[in-house]
Amino acid sequence: MKTLVVYYTKSGWTEKIAQEIGKLTKGELRKIVEIKSRNGILGFIRSGFEAVRGALSELRPMDFNLSNYDQVFLGTPVWAGSPTPAVNSFIAEADFKGKKVVLFLIMGGERYERPLSLLKEKIRAKGGKVAGSFAISSSRLSEEQLKEEVKRNLKIEGEI
Ligand SMILES: Cc1cc2nc3c(=O)[nH]c(=O)nc-3n(C[C@H](O)[C@H](O)[C@H](O)COP(=O)(O)O)c2cc1C
């Protein structure tokens, strides 16, 4: 089974988690990168507004084809109780037909139900099968604990 771990990150947490998933599942890692900057307080505010209304954002071209993978781990931070615009765009541009998708969400707080159900809906609308999901709160974890959390969740999902 060929596995892809694809993610968006702004401050690096989702990337750390993606790297750990990649290591444990022998998946290939790919980062979703936006064209526009989200720096500064204005960038932060704008990001929250965009996320909550389900906005899209222009992405840098990516050097892979989903059709080469059987299983896709897709990761996003939670912004304003929503998935990120970059991940919305990735899903909008992708064909998930026949793909098994495992979603992973990273948030500063504890709530992930709304972004998770929005993501499931979007993936299913693009033909994918959401086979599992997990969410990790970044704020209270050391790097070591974060790795343990990833391992624990992958075991629960039957992925390792
Ligand atoms: C614009 C913005 C909005 C956010 N909104 C939420 C939120 O609604 N709930 C939450 O738990 N965390 C929220 N966070 C915190 C991030 O989800 C958290 O810091 C996450 O670890 C960031 O992932 P990253 O380091 O991969 O970018 C927000 C962060 C940003 C930048």
Kindly report, residue by residue over 94-139, the tens digit of the pLDDT.
999 999 999 999 999 999 999 999 999 999 999 999 999 999 998 8
User: In angstroms, what CA-CA distances link 84 with 41, 68, 136?
Assistant: 17, 25, 16
Quick one: how far is CA 41 from the chain centroid?
A: 23
Of 47, 57, 79, 118, the residue with max ligand 1 atoms within 8 A of its CB, to mutate for a pocket test, comes to: 79
* Owning domain of residue 147: 3-156
Task: Convert 55-72 to b/e letters by CB count within 10 Å (16 or more is b).
Answer: eebebeeeeeebeebebb
Residue 15 alpha carbon, nearest atom of ligand 1: 26
Of all helices (H) and strands (E), which one includes residue 124? helix 113-125
Indicate which CATH number applies to the domain containing 113.
3.40.50.360
The predicted structure's pLDDT at residue 57: 98
For ligand 1, the distance from its centroid to the CA atom of residue 107, given in whole angstroms, is 5
| pTM of the complete model | 0.98
Tally of domains within the chain: 1
- Rounded Cα distance between 82 and 146, Å, is 22
27-60 pLDDT tens trace: 999 999 999 999 999 999 999 999 999 999 999 9
Nearest CA to ligand 1 atom 28: 79
